[in-house]
């Protein structure tokens, strides 16, 4: 059997829960099992844990705790923000036009497609070759009927950090609500909702070393959107369902750690990411980096290996224990070439050979060395197997 080492380089897909986070979560299963809505002691204990977590999450993005609503996932936060805003605004006769970008996560894109079926008109803004949405393009797309703009903060495939402050400024000038999917930005770039001027912002715990199945939506004070999950009066009456206490407490702790650790995290992840990229560029010919080199998620590297196909790379790397992804995790079973790489103008044959690596807090230099060593072998092996190569060209 080949040399095997567990090397996880897919921190954008999800992260392990940190020990400190888990430690805070555990009591909420057996000991502190009270329902936060109950008025006796163990209920009130849960209530105060809920308040604390809300404050921890609020602090990470510069919001007030009253502006944070816990949800069941980042996807739910996106669905809620888009659907409720769209339906509310149309009901008020404000219009039926939504603007988003063509590189959004499917949580936003598929919600937009659903809204189109409900009679809304959606404009999907193009991006430039590094994946940036231009504030000028946004301004041109706004019409009298525009009721919502949703542009992601950091792209999950190529890591491009969008100019959210400028984009939100355009929205504000035109008095249109602005939402951003910050799931990949959280804990990876500094976020201050007040400074950014966004109206709504989606978050998810499992990308910042918190538990899966836990998200939150920031809704700026003064912005009112209808409920998405109807029922009890949880989350200030805005999101029904008995709270996932362990999940919320874990999210709170993860958010607190992400805040205190932000500078270290960014430095650590970007140093190792840069090392990974330079090693690959040094040791493997015919590769290129997709996305922006400058305004980029600290751990993300998206690299095209010419003349070979991504799934084969992924499977062979997996044989050595190295976990990487082809495009975005949710498209690995789909035959469609990545919509994000298409949008930045990468030809299909090269999209098929693109791999996303993400470094994280537990990544080490030794792991990168091991991954690169194996990558060199894998790429060589697959290129031997390939009918296309640099001499013959692509046909």
Ligand X SMILES: Cc1ncc(COP(=O)(O)O)c(C=O)c1O
Q: Residue 333 binds which one of other proteins, ligand X, none, with CB within 5 to 8 A depending on kind?
A: other proteins
Residues in contact with ligand X, shown as a per-residue x/- string from 128 to 157 under the rule CB under 6 A: ------------------------x---x-
Among 24, 45, 137, 181, binds ligand X (CB under 6 A): 181
Judged by beta carbon, residue 103 or residue 177, the one nearer ligand X is 103
Whether 269 sits among the annotated catalytic residues: the reply is: no
Structure-derived torsion over alpha carbons of residues 229, 230, 233, 234, reported in degrees to the nearest 10: -20
Among 84, 85, 160, 184, binds ligand X (CB under 6 A): 184
Judged by beta carbon, residue 227 or residue 386, the one nearer other proteins is 386
The candidate with the shortest Cα–Cα distance to 172, out of 207, 198, 210, 136, is 198
Tally of residues, the chain: 395
Chain centre distance of CA 8 = 18
Q: Is 186 in the site for ligand X (CB under 6 A)?
A: no
Q: Residue 183 binds which one of other proteins, ligand X, none, with CB within 5 to 8 A depending on kind?
A: ligand X
Q: Is 71 in the site for ligand X (CB under 6 A)?
A: no
Chain centre distance of CA 33 = 31
C-alpha span between 254 and 353 (Å, rounded): 34
C-alpha span between 192 and 323 (Å, rounded): 32
Determine which one of 102, 112, 269, 330 is catalytic: 330
Contacts of residue 70, Cβ cutoff 8 Å, sequence gap at least 6: 53, 54, 214, 215, 216, 235, 239, 243, 244, 248, 251
Q: Residue 1 binds which one of ligand X, other proteins, none, with CB within 5 to 8 A depending on kind?
A: none
Q: Is 215 in the site for ligand X (CB under 6 A)?
A: yes
Among 107, 219, 368, 379, binds ligand X (CB under 6 A): 107
Shortest Cβ 303–other proteins spacing (Å): 17
Contacts of residue 207, Cβ cutoff 8 Å, sequence gap at least 6: 11, 12, 14, 15, 74, 183, 184, 186, 187
Q: Is 105 in the site for ligand X (CB under 6 A)?
A: yes
C-alpha span between 173 and 170 (Å, rounded): 5
Q: Which residues of this chain interact with ligand X, rule CB under 6 A?
A: 73-75, 78, 105, 107, 152, 156, 181, 183-184, 204, 206, 215
């Amino acid at each position: 059997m080949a040399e095997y080492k567990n090397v996880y380089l897919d921190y954008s897909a999800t992260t392990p829960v940190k020990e400190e986070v888990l430690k805070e979560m555990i009591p909420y299963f057996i000991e502190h099992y009270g329902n936060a809505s109950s008025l006796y002691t163990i209920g009130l204990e849960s209530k105060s844990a809920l308040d604390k977590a809300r404050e921890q999450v609020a602090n990470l993005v510069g919001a007030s705790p009253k502006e944070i609503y816990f949800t069941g996932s980042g996807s739910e936060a996106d669905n809620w923000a888009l659907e409720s805003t769209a339906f509310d605004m149309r009901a008020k006769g404000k219009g039926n036009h939504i603007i988003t970008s063509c590189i959004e996560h499917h949580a936003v894109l598929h919600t937009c497609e659903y809204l189109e079926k409900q009679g809304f008109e959606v404009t999907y803004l193009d991006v430039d070759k590094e994946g940036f949405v231009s504030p000028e393009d946004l301004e041109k797309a706004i019409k009298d009927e525009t009721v919502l703009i949703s542009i992601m903060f950091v792209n999950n495939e190529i890591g491009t950090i969008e100019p959210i402050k400028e984009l939100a400024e355009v929205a504000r000038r035109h008095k249109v609500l602005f939402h951003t999917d910050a799931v990949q930005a959280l804990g990876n770039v500094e976020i201050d909702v007040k400074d950014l001027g966004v109206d709504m912002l989606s978050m998810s715990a499992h990308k910042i070393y918190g538990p899966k199945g836990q998200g939150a939506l920031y809704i700026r004070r003064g912005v009112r959107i209808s409920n998405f999950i109807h029922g009890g009066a949880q989350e200030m009456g805005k999101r029904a369902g008995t709270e996932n206490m362990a999940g919320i407490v874990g999210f709170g702790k993860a958010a607190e750690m992400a805040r205190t650790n932000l500078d270290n995290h960014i430095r650590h992840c970007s140093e190792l990411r840069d090392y990974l990229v330079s090693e690959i560029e040094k040791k493997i010919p015919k590769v290129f980096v997709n996305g922006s080199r400058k305004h980029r998620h600290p751990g993300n590297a998206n690299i095209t290996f010419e003349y070979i196909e991504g799934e084969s790379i992924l499977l062979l790397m997996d044989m050595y224990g190295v976990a990487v992804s082809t495009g975005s995790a949710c498209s690995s079973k789909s035959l469609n070439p990545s919509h994000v790489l298409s949008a930045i103008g990468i030809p299909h044959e090269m999209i098929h050979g693109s791999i996303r690596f993400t470094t994280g807090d537990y990544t080490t230099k030794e792991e990168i060395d091991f991954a690169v060593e194996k990558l060199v072998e894998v790429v060589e092996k697959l290129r031997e197997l390939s009918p296309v190569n640099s001499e013959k060209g692509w046909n």
